[in-house]
């Protein structure tokens, strides 16, 4: 339901036989009606939210912990080195901000954003009461004791084996700049795949799509770019299909790439690249809807807008149908999910590897129109909320058995050493009326609020 004020200036209307209503009577009746509708909408949202809390009651108090607001005060240290008592009295010329500290690889706060190996999450050690706890930003080890390499990742849940497969950029190589003005990069190594039954203990399934070492004309030639791989299973063909962002080292090729496999653990056979619907395409994702139709969502027109279009029924190509959405909003890193028939999408702004503010958008139809709701981040501190907790969205995983609860997956990029980028996984909860729809929608909170809660440490409620 999308309401717009389309009312034309009324004159007088016939009300019933023998009487006539004035303009003001009609206007006031309309206002009254709209007010009633507004109240109804508010209450029905509250009911829905209440219903949802009801559902979660059985998981209390662990569910309650997920939605607890956790503030985090990070103290900026005084400038390094000896300062004369006189200089100490003077104001420093330029005070650093938390975001400056985050971007400074020599910051004294480095360990806060990128904790060292000593604190790594290691599912293979005896963790006692710490088992199954996520520590966003810490190094996360696989079952072989190596840091997980699945950046810009996506998740596939295989119903038959009840196994999660996490695919992402395998970046375990040196970071460098391809040329003076080039962005920090790691050569393509390939797409890493990890499997898990509990979303915490991850087994390395190897590189399921590898770089091309010799043929310079190949899309996967190591000096090119492969980002944000996403895998979907096609029930009709029984194939696993991987979509990814394919580029050259200057990000001018701006294409999608497609690969296919008989197994979730590969190997994937690389098929081709193209510019979808003849448009440039950079950050992207794939969303598979309940009816089996899958959609490609990509940043286009130099990242100024997103495009959404259905894939062919074998998922190997786009059709010629697409819509331009969030036009002029300059969003990237799209992560889509669906809740009670509404589509939601988390996106980031476009600031390279530096973090920025996440926004949530909602739509009743996946092809749009999409409406921007606002920043979903709750807790932490002001800077961390304005930087998506110093990370960038990549995917949202529904938690089976917990309607309205999701895991928000994001990357805390480390441009000084991209292989050491960290994973920020946090609970994302849909519920309650949206507090501040940013787009014009006649003032109605049409969508439920999407909230991503900061936690230094958290775990999933046991199923
Ligand atoms: C932001 C994108 O979201 C990342 O995937 C990557 O392309 C960087 N930009 C490169 O600067």
Is 1 within the bounds of a domain?
A: no
Is 47 within the bounds of a domain?
A: no
What's the 45 CA to ligand 1 centre distance in angstroms? 36
Is 182 within the bounds of a domain?
A: yes
Say which DSSP state 276 is in.
Answer: G
Q: Is the peptide bond prior to 64 cis by the omega test (within 30 degrees of 0)?
A: no
What's the 354 CA to ligand 1 centre distance in angstroms? 9
Low-confidence winner among 23-32, 257-266, 413-422 (lowest mean pLDDT) = 23-32
Task: Give, using CA atoms, the residue closest to atom 11 of ligand 1.
Answer: 352
For the Cβ of 411 lying below 6 angstroms from any atom of ligand 1, the answer is: no
Tell me the percentage of the chain whose pLDDT exceeds 90.
Answer: 74
What's the 190 CA to ligand 1 centre distance in angstroms? 16
Question: How confident is the model over 38-73, as pLDDT tens digits?
Answer: 444 443 433 343 333 344 444 567 788 899 999 999
pLDDT of residue 77: 81
CB 171 within 8 A of CB 186: yes
Question: Domain holding 361: CATH number?
Answer: 2.115.10.20
For the Cβ of 353 lying below 6 angstroms from any atom of ligand 1, the answer is: yes
pLDDT mean across residues, the chain: 87
Is 112 within the bounds of a domain?
A: yes
The structure tokens listed for 343 are 């589509």
Is 15 within the bounds of a domain?
A: no
What's the 365 CA to ligand 1 centre distance in angstroms? 28
Question: How confident is the model over 330-388, as pLDDT tens digits?
Answer: 999 999 999 999 999 999 999 999 999 999 999 999 999 999 999 999 999 999 999 99
Say which DSSP state 161 is in.
Answer: T
Is 339 within the bounds of a domain?
A: yes
Say which DSSP state 419 is in.
Answer: G
The structure tokens listed for 83 are 């300062």
pLDDT of residue 142: 98
Q: How far is CA 298 from CA 244, 261, 395, in A?
A: 10, 23, 14
Contacts of 397 (CB under 8 A, 6+ apart): 155, 157, 164, 199, 406, 407, 409
Say which DSSP state 311 is in.
Answer: B
Using the atom order of ligand 1, give the atom closest to the CA of residue 184. Answer: 11
Q: How many domains does the chain have?
A: 1
DSSP element (H, E) containing 449: strand 448-453
What's the 392 CA to ligand 1 centre distance in angstroms? 9
Interatomic CA distance for residues 50 and 460, integer angstroms: 21
Confidence of residue 439 (pLDDT cuts 50, 70, 90): low
What's the 352 CA to ligand 1 centre distance in angstroms? 5
CB 170 within 8 A of CB 207: yes
Question: How confident is the model over 168-179, as pLDDT tens digits?
Answer: 999 999 999 999
Smallest CA-to-CA distance from 176 within 449, 462, 416, 347 is with 416
Q: DSSP 3-state assignment of 259? A: strand
pLDDT of residue 442: 54
Question: How confident is the model over 223-235, as pLDDT tens digits?
Answer: 999 999 999 999 9
Using the atom order of ligand 1, give the atom closest to the CA of residue 333. Answer: 3
What's the 172 CA to ligand 1 centre distance in angstroms? 17
What's the 359 CA to ligand 1 centre distance in angstroms? 17
DSSP element (H, E) containing 384: helix 382-385
For the Cβ of 169 lying below 6 angstroms from any atom of ligand 1, the answer is: no
Question: How confident is the model over 132-142, as pLDDT tens digits?
Answer: 999 999 999 99
Low-confidence winner among 135-139, 181-185, 226-230, 271-275 (lowest mean pLDDT) = 181-185
Confidence of residue 35 (pLDDT cuts 50, 70, 90): low
Task: Give, using CA atoms, the residue closest to atom 3 of ligand 1.
Answer: 333
Is 313 within the bounds of a domain?
A: yes
Beta bridge partners of 157: 164
Average pLDDT over residues 86-98: 71
Which residue of 332, 354, 410 sits with most ligand 1 atoms within 8 Å of its CB, as the best mutation to test the pocket?
A: 332
- Which domain range does residue 217 map to? 60-459
For the Cβ of 283 lying below 6 angstroms from any atom of ligand 1, the answer is: yes
pLDDT of residue 356: 98
For the Cβ of 227 lying below 6 angstroms from any atom of ligand 1, the answer is: yes
pLDDT of residue 257: 99
Question: How confident is the model over 282-305, as pLDDT tens digits?
Answer: 999 999 999 999 999 999 999 999
Is 360 within the bounds of a domain?
A: yes
The structure tokens listed for 74 are 């990070």
pLDDT of residue 330: 98
The structure tokens listed for 333 are 């890193």
The structure tokens listed for 148 are 């997980």
pLDDT of residue 111: 96
Using the atom order of ligand 1, give the atom closest to the CA of residue 228. Answer: 5
pLDDT of residue 443: 55
Low-confidence winner among 245-254, 266-275, 381-390, 437-446 (lowest mean pLDDT) = 437-446
What's the 366 CA to ligand 1 centre distance in angstroms? 24
Task: Give, using CA atoms, the residue closest to atom 10 of ligand 1.
Answer: 352
């Amino acid at each position: 339901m999308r309401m717009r004020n389309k009312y034309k200036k009324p004159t007088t209307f016939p009300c019933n036989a023998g009487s006539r209503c004035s303009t003001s009577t009609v206007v006031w009746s309309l206002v009254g009606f709209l007010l009633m509708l507004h109240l109804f909408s508010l209450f029905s949202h509250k009911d829905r939210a209440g219903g949802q809390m009801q559902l979660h009651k059985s998981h209390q108090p662990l569910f309650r912990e997920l939605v607890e607001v956790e503030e985090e005060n990070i103290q900026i240290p005084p400038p390094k080195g000896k300062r004369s008592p006189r200089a100490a009295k003077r104001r420093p010329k330029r005070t650093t901000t938390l975001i400056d500290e985050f971007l400074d690889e020599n910051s004294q706060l480095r360990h806060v954003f990128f904790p060292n190996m000593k604190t790594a999450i290691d599912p293979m050690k005896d963790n006692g009461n710490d088992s199954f706890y996520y520590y966003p930003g810490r190094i996360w080890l696989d079952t072989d004791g190596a840091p997980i390499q699945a950046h810009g990742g996506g998740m596939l849940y295989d119903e038959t084996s009840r196994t999660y497969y996490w695919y992402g950029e395998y970046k375990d190589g040196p970071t460098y700049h391809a040329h003076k003005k080039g962005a920090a990069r790691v050569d393509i190594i390939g797409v890493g795949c990890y499997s898990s039954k509990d979303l915490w203990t991850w087994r390395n399934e190897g590189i399921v799509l590898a770089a091309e070492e010799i043929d310079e004309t190949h899309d996967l030639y190591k000096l090119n770019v492969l980002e944000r791989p996403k895998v979907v299973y096609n029930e009709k063909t029984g194939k696993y299909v991987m979509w990814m962002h394919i580029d050259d080292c200057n990000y001018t090729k701006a294409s999608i790439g497609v690969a296919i496999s008989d197994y979730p653990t590969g190997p994937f056979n690389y098929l081709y690249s193209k510019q979808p619907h003849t448009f440039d395409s950079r950050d992207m994702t794939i969303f598979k809807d309940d009816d089996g139709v899958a959609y490609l969502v990509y940043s286009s027109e130099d990242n100024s807008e997103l495009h959404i279009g259905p894939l062919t029924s074998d998922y190997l190509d786009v059709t010629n149908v697409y819509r331009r959405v969030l036009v002029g909003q300059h969003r990237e890193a799209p992560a889509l999910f669906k809740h009670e028939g509404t589509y939601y999408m988390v996106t980031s702004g476009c600031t390279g590897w530096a973090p920025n503010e996440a926004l949530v958008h909602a739509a009743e139809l996946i092809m749009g129109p999409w409406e921007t709701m606002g920043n979903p981040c709750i807790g932490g501190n002001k800077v961390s909320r304005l930087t998506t907790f110093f990370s960038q969205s990549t995917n949202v995983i529904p938690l089976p058995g917990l309607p309205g609860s999701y895991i928000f997956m994001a990357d805390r990029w480390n441009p000084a050493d991209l292989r050491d980028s960290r994973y920020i996984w946090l609970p994302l909860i849909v519920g309650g009326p949206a507090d501040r729809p940013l787009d014009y929608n006649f003032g109605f909170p049409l969508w439920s609020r999407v909230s991503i809660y900061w936690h230094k440490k958290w775990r999933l409620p046991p199923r």
